[in-house]
C-alpha cells in the first residue's frame, strides 16, 4: 500500500557516517532512505549575550537546503534575502529539541552551533536533522571530555526524531516525500533514548484526527525512535 512497498511500521534504511568534514568539531552525514543531511557541530568558547555570566552553556541550530536538494530547484535563501518561514520554524525546533537533552550546567559557558544542511531531500528532513544533529553534538562533546575541558557528560540521553502520519487512512511510520505530500495528517515526534517526550507536533491540513489515532501514531514513533537511537549509538560507539 505504501509507494515504497514498506510495511506500515517500517522505517527506511538508516545510516550515519561520522567525521565527514575536517574542520568541524563533530560531524556526520545521516541518510534516511534518500534523505541525506550533513550535520556539523561547531564549538565556540562564548555564549550569547543573554547568558553571559550565568554559568550555562547554549546549543543552537541552523538549517538549510541546497537549491537542488529537491525535485525541482528551489530558490537559494541567501539570494532571496532571508530565511523562509519554514526554515526558521525548523531550525528553532532542532535547537529546542537538542537543548532538551543537554545538561547546560555541565556544558559550561560555551556554545555549540549545529548546522544541518540538506544535501538531498525525500521527506523527513527535519527529523533526520535532529537525529544526525545529536550525533554531531555528541562527537563535539566527546572531544571536550577527552580534552578534560568538561568533567561530567552533559548529554545524558540521546535525542532522536521521526515523522508519522495518516496516509491513505492508515497510520504509517517515517513518511517519504510521496507520502508526505499526500498525507492529510502528519507530524514529528522528538524523544529521548529512554522514551521521554521532548516535542510532539502533529498537524492536519484539510483533515482532522482523533485520540485513538494519536495513540497509534505515538506507538509507531516509539518504535522508530528506538531504531534511530540504536543507529546513533552504533555510530558513536556508545
Binding residues for a copy of itself, rule: CB under 8 A, are 21-24, 27, 34, 38, 40, 42, 44, 62, 64, 66-73, 76-83, 85-89, 92, 96, 99-100, 104, 113, 115, 117, 119-121, 187, 192, 195-211, 214, 218
For residue 107, the minimal CB distance to a copy of itself (Å) is 12
Contact 115, 62 (CB under 8 A): yes
Residue 7 or 43: the one with the smaller Cβ distance to a copy of itself is 43
Residue 62 or 174: the one with the smaller Cβ distance to a copy of itself is 62
CB under 8 Å to 27, separation ≥6 — which residues? Answer: 18, 19, 20, 21, 38, 39, 40, 41, 136, 139
For residue 213, the minimal CB distance to a copy of itself (Å) is 8
For residue 235, the minimal CB distance to a copy of itself (Å) is 19
The cell numbers describing 174, all together, are 517515517
Residue 54 or 234: the one with the smaller Cβ distance to a copy of itself is 54
For residue 73, the minimal CB distance to a copy of itself (Å) is 4
Residue 63's beta-bridge partner residues? 116
Residue 7 or 157: the one with the smaller Cβ distance to a copy of itself is 157
Which residues participate in the annotated binding site for phosphate? 86, 124-126
Residue 7 or 46: the one with the smaller Cβ distance to a copy of itself is 46
Name residue, grid cell 555570566. 53
For residue 23, the minimal CB distance to a copy of itself (Å) is 5
> What distance in Å separates the CA atoms of residue 233 and residue 238, rounded to the nearest whole number?
5
> What distance in Å separates the CA atoms of residue 77 and residue 67, rounded to the nearest whole number?
9
Query: Is 58 in a helix, a strand, or coil?
Result: strand
> What distance in Å separates the CA atoms of residue 218 and residue 212, rounded to the nearest whole number?
10
Amino acid at each position: 500500500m505504501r509507494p515504497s512497498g514498506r510495511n506500515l511500521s517500517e522505517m527506511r534504511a538508516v545510516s550515519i557516517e561520522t567525521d565527514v568534514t575536517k574542520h568541524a568539531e563533530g560531524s556526520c552525514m545521516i541518510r534516511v532512505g534518500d534523505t541525506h543531511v550533513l550535520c556539523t557541530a561547531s564549538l565556540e568558547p562564548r555564549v550569547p549575550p543573554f547568558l553571559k555570566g550565568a554559568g550555562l552553556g547554549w546549543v543552537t541550530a541552523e538549517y538549510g537546503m541546497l537549491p537542488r536538494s529537491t525535485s525541482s530547484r528551489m530558490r537559494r535563501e541567501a539570494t532571496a534575502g532571508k530565511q523562509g518561514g519554514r526554515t526558521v520554524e525548523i531550525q528553532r525546533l532542532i535547537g529546542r529539541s537538542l537543548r532538551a537533552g543537554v545538561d547546560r550546567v555541565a556544558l559550561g559557558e560555551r556554545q555549540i552551533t549545529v548546522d544541518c544542511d540538506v544535501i538531498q531531500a525525500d521527506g523527513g528532513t527535519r527529523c533526520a536533522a535532529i537525529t544526525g544533529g545529536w550525533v554531531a553534538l555528541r562527537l563535539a562533546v566527546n572531544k571536550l571530555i577527552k580534552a578534560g575541558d568538561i568533567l561530567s557528560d552533559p548529554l545524558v540521553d540521546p535525542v532522536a526524531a521521526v515523522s508519522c502520519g495518516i496516509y491513505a487512512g492508515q497510520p504509517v511510520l517515517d513518511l517519504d516525500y510521496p507520502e508526505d505530500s499526500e498525507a492529510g495528517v502528519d507530524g514529528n515526534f522528538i524523544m529521548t533514548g529512554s522514551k521521554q517526550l521532548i516535542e510532539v507536533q502533529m498537524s492536519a491540513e484539510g483533515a482532522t484526527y482523533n485520540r485513538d489515532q494519536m495513540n497509534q501514531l505515538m506507538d509507531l514513533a516509539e518504535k522508530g525512535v528506538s531504531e534511530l537511537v540504536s543507529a546513533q549509538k552504533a555510530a558513536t560507539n556508545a
